[in-house]
Structure formats: structure tokens, C-alpha cells
Structure 1
Amino acid sequence: MERPRILVVGGGFAGVECARRLERKLVPGEADIAIVAPFSYELYLPLLPQVAAGVLTPQSVAVSLRRMLHRTRIIPGGAIGVDPKAKVCIVRKITDEVVAEHYDYLVLAPGSITRSFDIPGLTDHARGMKTLAEAAFVRDHVISQLDLADAATDRDERISRLQFVVVGGGYAGTETAACLQRVTTSAVKRYPRLNPNLIKWHLIDIAPKLMPELGDKLGATALDVLRKRGIEVSLGVSVAEVGEESVTFTDGRVIPSRTLIWTAGVAASPLIATLDAETVRGRVATTAEMRVPQFDGVFALGDAAAVPDLAKGDGSVCPPTAQHAQRQGKVAADNVVASLRSQPLKEYFHKDLGLVVDLGGADAVSKPMGVELTGVAAQGVARGYHLMALRTNVAKVRVMTNWLLNATAGDDFVRTGFQRGKPATLKDFEYTDSYLSKDEIRAHTAALTAKQ
């Protein structure tokens, strides 16, 4: 008798945690487990700003899938369409070969992409901070601006290269601006021709508060830390237009700048749009057990799923955070196993354990279990949480070693070559044009199934 096939889509927090749990819960030979992942690692997203700042190496936050998964078949590629009626997932491998993966149980955890808006010049000139390649590229780009400004003979060019704009006052944007500002501030030691007064960082957000999830007190503390460092924080402001050498704000200001880092939120993976399923703000609607009710054997979780937040109630859904994604992965795996064994499913219920924001150096704000912390104590909690959340001892050691090295030796200003050729922008890293239409999915399903 053929064994049931469980297919997990996504190599992020939710998908990997689900596959790990399935391996632990299922008896060897009880079912075949496969995971579709474009890369051979789980990216630890919360530490990307430190990769961009050069505090951590890219490998430190790329946690090897093959160290975590032992009985799961890893399919190197991305899901580009799902046919729930035929129980087929269309996958484009990293070789561009398109294959049909049949499943009995499907776990959708494709994650999210950078949310963008119809702003003139945005897709052509903005850089994102959602992938490892983007973080490495941003680092190269910022250092290249320092190098070019140092060599420039024209004052206007120098000014535009030394002004940096980060859009998004959430965790990603705030930490990115804070970490990179520390790097450019320390650059004056290595670039004696640069006037430190010309180096300027702008952090803007359309919201009236910085990181409102922290609460008024901690949010105000973080804002005070940033402003004391010289970061100009503008709230209630967004971007009206982006040019090659300037950024125009909605309040009319025109900032001479060749760097716009866009971290203004996320949107569910376009894979969700290939399903005929109910959505909530683009995320597929699920039950509290993370089932997609329209389709047999389909579960969804993480950033791409609107999972009811039973802890909060009031019909709200869980926010797209790593904390929820990891815990949903465990419960989703339990429910897949329960479905396989004809046992009752359980609802996902999780209270947020708190928030940590690393502002670089000794600066941080944290709120573990509702306790508000700042400074060194908050930094200790933030870094302790990250070490706990990393899934392999190798990753933990790499991160700790990098932290120690940076604390003792300081920053280096080395470009690794990502600046060669055409500058990469938002659309170049997230492959948002790879997904199939519903008609294409049906055609691929029929053709590939017949071929296989």
C-alpha cells in the first residue's frame, strides 16, 4: 500500500518547524514527508539588519535545512501554483524545470513578500530587506556610497551619497536604520576625508507612532535613542516619489539621496492567489485548526495565512511574526498527524511572549512577558532570545562568535562584489512574477501528470 504523501511548502519558520515536528511525531515509514524550499537554509529574518551592518556574516543567519531535517525530502525550488482538486502542487525547481508534486496532505507556509505601493520610481530604485541576498546587497550598496563619497570632488554628489532613507517604522525598518547608522558613524575613522556632519539617516513611517506594539513608553524610548544618535525620524510621512538621486516625501521635502531601503510591511506570497480560497487581506483564511475549509487535506499557516487569534479574540487574526509562525508549525504538524490517524484536531492558541528590538551596541528595548526593559538589560534579553530561537548549535556558535568579534574589533568596510552590474531592486530578489494563473495550473497539472 502506498504511503500517504505530506508536502510542506516553504522553508521559513512555519514550514521548517512543521517538518521537524512531523519527523518527530510520525513513525518511520508511516508517511512520506517532502518540503519545497528555494534555498537550502532557513533564514533567521530577525537578524538580517545585523547582516546588512556587517555585525553578522550571511552564513550565521542561514540555518542549514540538512542539519535540521533528516527524513524529509527537500525539493529545491518554489511552488508556483496549487490545484487542490487534483491534489497537485506545481513546483519550479532551481534549474527552471517545472514538476508536479502530488500530495495527500498539503501544508502551505510560503511566507510573505515585501509590500509595495504604486509610488513613482519605487520599484526601480528601492532596496528591500526581506532576503539574505538583499541584506548582503544593502551592505555593499551602503559601503559603496561611502567609497564614492570619499572619492567625489563634487559637493552635491557627496551629499546625495551620504544621505540614507529607510521607510517603515516597524521592527525591520527601525533595526535596519539603527544598525546601519552605527556603521556609517564609525566609518569616519576609516574615511578621514568624509565630513561626519554630512552623513544623515532618515527613518519615516506613515503611522503616528514608532513600533506601536511596544506601547507608548518603550516606543518613546526607542524614538529618543534614535534621535539622540542623529537619525531624523519623521512620523505621519511617506514617500511620494523616488528618483535616482533624490527621494520626495509626502510633506514636500526633497532629500538628495541615492539610497532608499523599503521595509514598509509585508504581503502574503502570491501563491495564495492561485487558490480559489477565501482570503483576509490577501492571506488565506483558515479555521483555528489551520485547515483551509474549502479543500480536503490542506492546511495553511505563517505569514500567508489568516489564522484566528484565539488569545486576543474579537475575530482578529495572528500577526505575521516569527513567534507565531514557529508555534503554528508545531500545531499544524500535530493536526496533520491527527488527520492521518483519524484523531481530533486541536486549535491554535498562543499568547505573545513579548517583543525584543536590538538597536545595536548597548541600545535595545524589550518587553518579555510584559516587563518593559531598556539598555543593557534589554539587549541581553534580545540576544538571549535570538540565540534560543536559532535551531542549531552551529548557528548559535557562529552568531555568538560574530557578536564577540564585532564588539572587540569593530566594523570593517569591505564590498564583496554585489554592486557589479545592474543594481538590484525589490522585484529582482523575490521572483513575484513566477506564479501561474488558474488556467495555467490546470494545464500544467494535466500535462505533468500524464508525463509522470
Structure 2
Amino acid sequence: MSRPPHVVVVGGGFAGVECLHRLERLLKPSEARLTLVSPEDYQLYLPLLSHVAAGLLSPQSVAVSLRRRLRRTHYGPGFATGVDPREKVLTVRTVEGAEVRVGYDHLVLAAGSTTRMFDIPGLQEYALGLKTLAQAAYLRDHVIHQLDRAAIARDEEERARCLRFVVVGGGYAGVETAAALHLLTHAAVRRFPRLDPSLLRWHLIDLAPRLLPELGENLGDKALKTLRDRGIEISLNTTISSMTAHSAELTDGRTLGTHTVIWTAGVAASPLVDTVGSELLKGRLRTDANMSVPGVPGVFAVGDAAAVPDLAVGGDAITPPTAQHSQRQGKAVAHNVAAALRGTPMKPYYHRDLGLVVDLGCGNAVSKPLGIELSGFPAQLVARGYHALALPTGTARARVLANWALNFLTGDDFVSTGFQKGRPASVPAFELTGLYRAAERQG
């Protein structure tokens, strides 16, 4: 008897897991074999990563077990480094470092994104990112360690460097990260009797002329005022021109002595899309409205790695790389994969964005659900309610709600775990983007 067609999904994020979760319901085992290729055995709820870095949530609460959600999908732990569309083969580097070739009949590329880096001297060596669970754990330890260093520093300039923190990026990730970690340091410094809280310095810088342009001028200005009122210095139309382990030089001519530059200035599609040999749009793999890649039979692309037409907006617009669209595209592409297997018509992807929520902590937020502008405590209720509902399992919701409640009632102990001590801290080291370059050299 011939084996059922093989459907391979790359990426254990929103799009990939939602696709497989739906395929398990749509297809009988006799209709398709399902395989997931992902370096981690969990689905990361990325929008709450800043809460992990700030200690509001435990890492486990935002890492949903793939084996809990996917019951008959074969999970192949590994790092997809290349696609051969002619042979219908995916190249995978296993966790042991071996390279294997996985054949497919239908391939769904949901490989997500990496932190967008630029050719800025020192950036790749010294900037810290916040894209993975390991980075969140490292960043929390690093920030607490800076307070420890400052408490014993005898040199005033060194103490100032330890107590100055710079966040680059005025979008959703940068604003939430700056807000959450600023609150963390101001709460933690009370446990350091030798430190003067007034010495803490937080800077949020962005090349754009406004904060949170996705939310509009009014809410962006409210977020800016909230952060400035807390003491965060915000510099717009500015970015970093170079950096070292001890300082960051800005494009406005200032040099800030610091050991901490957190880089959240956007994302770029996974380098895996470059290996497909198909057209890219803004660095993402161009698809048609059905999420299939034109001219590459059997290949679909969704999520941050794909340039999917945004039919709700019209024109030449493509869907933005948000968790909301990734989740919806994962569900929609599952139906199209099932349709391709059964020879029935596929459906175009259509979803109207429900809005963005930005949690500023301390009873404050800005949000725009369904086009309604909210700020303050009502906006925070909407933001946290949205995240609680968007989490993929009841177990994850219970953990997150319990963590929030426990942190509110008892506070934080500001413990540095040391779990990531001794490993390279750079963005490329954490996100393993060097594996793609290694694959290119071998090819």
C-alpha cells in the first residue's frame, strides 16, 4: 500500500502550530502524514515576552508544549536551513548537528522572523535582543546583574554605565520592553540600600518621528507622555550610529555610557525564505491570496516569513507581521492544504485587523480594539484580557492569570537565576542565524 502524502510544516510559532492543530481535525490519518520541524518543543506566546523579562510571568507560562496541542503530528526537533523545490526536499540540521533531508508533498513555511539587524559597528556583537525565551531569561538576569555591579562599583562613571539602560525601537516591542523593565529596576533598586534610585537612567530611542505609529497620533502621544512622566528619556528621529561593550553613540552626536542596549528595531523574515528561489517582497516570500507560493508547486508560506496580500485593506497591501495575522493565516492555510490534497477549491485569506494593544504596566496601557481608542486602566484590562484569550490552551491561560495575580499580591524577589551565564549574549548567537550561512557555505 502507498503511504499517505507527507505534509511538512516548518516553524512552531502561531502560524505553524495553528495550521497543524487544524489539519489534525480536518484530515484523517489515511489522508496525510503530518510533520513539524522546529528547534523548540514549545509554541512561544511572543507578545508576552517582555513580561517574562520583567519577572511578571514565569518562562513556562508563555511556552505551550507542542505535544500538548498536537496529538498525532510527528515532531522533528531541528533547524530547517534550506528548501529544494525541484526535488521537494527540506534540509534540516538536527539538534545533534547532523544534516538530514526530509521529503514532502506539501510544505508550509511558517518559519517566522529574526531580529532585523543593520550594518552598525558593534551592533551584532554587543546589542541584546528579545525574540526568544532564552533572550528574555538572559535579559532579566543581565538587568539585575547591572544593579549588583553598580552597588559595589567604586568608580562613579562605571556605576553610571551600570545604571543606564537603552532600548532601541519605538514600536510595540520596544515600548513594552522599556516600560516593563523600567518598572522592574525601580522596584528592585529599593532592595539595594547603597544605590540612589535617582541615578537610574532609561532611554528609549527610535528613528521614526512618533512612538507607536500603528496606533495613531493620539494614542502614540499618550504613551509617550506616560513614559516620560515615569522618567524615561525618549529621543525620536534618532538611532545608534555605533556601540561598544561600554557605550552607545547616537546619531544626534551624544555618547551614552552603558552596558545595556536592547535592540527591538523591527524583524526580518527567516533567512530560510532566501533558499526557496522564489520572488521576495520586502524580504518576505511573496504568495498569492491563497497563501501558496507562485511557481513553486506544493509550497505555502504564512506568518512573518510571508508577504500575503491583505484583501481587507486592498491595493498592493500585504498583511503586517503580527501574531494576530499569523494565527489566522495558520488556520486558513490548513483548509487550503486540505483542499489541495482533496482536489477542491482553495479560499483566499481575508481578515480585518482587530487592533493593537500595548501594555505599559502599573495600571496603564494604550489600545485600539476594533478602532476604539482606549488608554489608562481600561486599556490595560483590554490588553491583558486579549492576551489571556489569545493564549492557545486553558493551561497557559491559567498559568498566566495566576502569575499576574501572584506578582500583584506578593511582588518580585528580583533573583538572577544564572541559567544563561557563560553563553554568548549577542542576537545572532541566540537566534542561530549563523546556521543559514553555514548551510550556504556547504552548498
Q: Tell me how far apart the structure 1 counterparts of residues 410 and 152 of structure 2 sit (CA, whole Å).
A: 26
Q: Tell me how far apart the structure 2 counterparts of residues 220 and 258 of structure 1 sit (CA, whole Å).
A: 29
Deviations 1:96-121 (A, max 9, x none): 12111111000001000000111111
Q: Is this contact kept in 2: 1:43–1:63, CA < 8 A?
A: yes
After superposition, residues 83-102 of structure 1 pair within 5 angstroms as: 83-102=84-103
SS at match of 1:318: coil
- Asked if 1:32 corresponds to 2:33, the answer is yes
Q: Hey, what does 2:117 align to over in structure 1?
A: 116
Deviation at 1:418, TM superposition (A): 4.0
Q: Tell me how far apart the structure 1 counterparts of residues 378 and 51 of structure 2 sit (CA, whole Å).
A: 19
Deviation at 1:194, TM superposition (A): 0.8
Q: Is this contact kept in 2: 1:83–1:89, CA < 8 A?
A: yes
Deviation at 1:439, TM superposition (A): 8.6
Q: Hey, what does 2:218 align to over in structure 1?
A: 217
The residue identity in structure 2 corresponding to 1:377 is P
Q: Tell me how far apart the structure 1 counterparts of residues 362 and 196 of structure 2 sit (CA, whole Å).
A: 23
Deviations 1:207-248 (A, max 9, x none): 001010101111111111000000001110000111111111
Deviation at 1:421, TM superposition (A): 2.3
Deviations 1:288-317 (A, max 9, x none): 000101111100010000001111112011
The residue identity in structure 1 corresponding to 2:71 is H
Q: Hey, what does 1:260 align to over in structure 2?
A: 261
Deviations 1:138-189 (A, max 9, x none): 0000000001101111111111100000000011110000000001111232
TM-score, with structure 1 as normaliser: 0.96
Deviation at 1:430, TM superposition (A): 0.9
- Asked if 1:62 corresponds to 2:67, the answer is no
Q: Is this contact kept in 2: 1:274–1:437, CA < 8 A?
A: no
SS at match of 1:359: strand
The residue identity in structure 2 corresponding to 1:9 is V
Q: Tell me how far apart the structure 2 counterparts of residues 136 and 339 of structure 1 sit (CA, whole Å).
A: 41
Identical positions, percent? 59
SS at match of 2:92: strand
Deviation at 1:124, TM superposition (A): 1.1
After superposition, residues 319-330 of structure 1 pair within 5 angstroms as: 319-330=320-331
Q: Tell me how far apart the structure 1 counterparts of residues 120 and 435 of structure 2 sit (CA, whole Å).
A: 22
Q: Tell me how far apart the structure 2 counterparts of residues 289 and 358 of structure 1 sit (CA, whole Å).
A: 33
After superposition, residues 335-374 of structure 1 pair within 5 angstroms as: 335-374=336-375
Q: Is this contact kept in 2: 1:54–1:412, CA < 8 A?
A: no
Q: Is this contact kept in 1: 2:209–2:237, CA < 8 A?
A: yes
Q: Tell me how far apart the structure 2 counterparts of residues 300 and 59 of structure 1 sit (CA, whole Å).
A: 28
Q: Hey, what does 2:377 align to over in structure 1?
A: 376
Larger deviation, residues 168-177 vs 408-417: 408-417
Deviation at 1:273, TM superposition (A): 0.9
Q: Tell me how far apart the structure 2 counterparts of residues 175 and 437 of structure 1 sit (CA, whole Å).
A: 35
Q: Is this contact kept in 1: 2:309–2:317, CA < 8 A?
A: yes
Deviation at 1:130, TM superposition (A): 0.4
Q: Is this contact kept in 2: 1:34–1:75, CA < 8 A?
A: yes
Q: Is this contact kept in 2: 1:120–1:241, CA < 8 A?
A: yes
The residue identity in structure 2 corresponding to 1:267 is A
Deviation at 1:424, TM superposition (A): 1.1
The residue identity in structure 2 corresponding to 1:216 is E
Q: Hey, what does 1:315 align to over in structure 2?
A: 316
Q: Tell me how far apart the structure 1 counterparts of residues 412 and 226 of structure 2 sit (CA, whole Å).
A: 21
Q: Tell me how far apart the structure 2 counterparts of residues 7 and 182 of structure 1 sit (CA, whole Å).
A: 43
Q: Hey, what does 2:416 align to over in structure 1?
A: 415
The residue identity in structure 2 corresponding to 1:311 is A
Deviation at 1:28, TM superposition (A): 2.8
Q: Hey, what does 1:425 align to over in structure 2?
A: 426
Q: CA RMSD in A?
A: 1.2
Deviation at 1:438, TM superposition (A): 6.6
SS at match of 1:354: coil
Q: Tell me how far apart the structure 2 counterparts of residues 433 and 26 of structure 1 sit (CA, whole Å).
A: 37
Deviation at 1:38, TM superposition (A): 0.6
The residue identity in structure 2 corresponding to 1:352 is D
- Asked if 1:53 corresponds to 2:54, the answer is yes
Q: Is this contact kept in 1: 2:190–2:197, CA < 8 A?
A: no
SS at match of 1:434: helix
Q: Is this contact kept in 2: 1:240–1:249, CA < 8 A?
A: yes
The residue identity in structure 1 corresponding to 2:205 is I
Q: Tell me how far apart the structure 2 counterparts of residues 146 and 15 of structure 1 sit (CA, whole Å).
A: 39
Q: Hey, what does 1:199 align to over in structure 2?
A: 200
Q: Hey, what does 1:161 align to over in structure 2?
A: 162
Number of aligned pairs? 441
Deviation at 1:423, TM superposition (A): 4.5
Larger deviation, residues 204-213 vs 371-380: 371-380
Q: Hey, what does 1:147 align to over in structure 2?
A: 148
Q: Tell me how far apart the structure 2 counterparts of residues 375 and 192 of structure 1 sit (CA, whole Å).
A: 32
Q: Hey, what does 1:448 align to over in structure 2?
A: none
Unaligned runs of 5+ in 1: 442-452
TM-score, with structure 2 as normaliser: 0.98
Q: Hey, what does 2:9 align to over in structure 1?
A: 8
The residue identity in structure 2 corresponding to 1:224 is K
Q: Tell me how far apart the structure 1 counterparts of residues 112 and 43 of structure 2 sit (CA, whole Å).
A: 12
Q: Tell me how far apart the structure 2 counterparts of residues 229 and 92 of structure 1 sit (CA, whole Å).
A: 46
Q: Tell me how far apart the structure 2 counterparts of residues 339 and 438 of structure 1 sit (CA, whole Å).
A: 32
The residue identity in structure 1 corresponding to 2:155 is D
Deviation at 1:419, TM superposition (A): 5.7
Q: Hey, what does 1:390 align to over in structure 2?
A: 391
Q: 1:419 to 1:344 in 2, by over 3 A?
A: closer
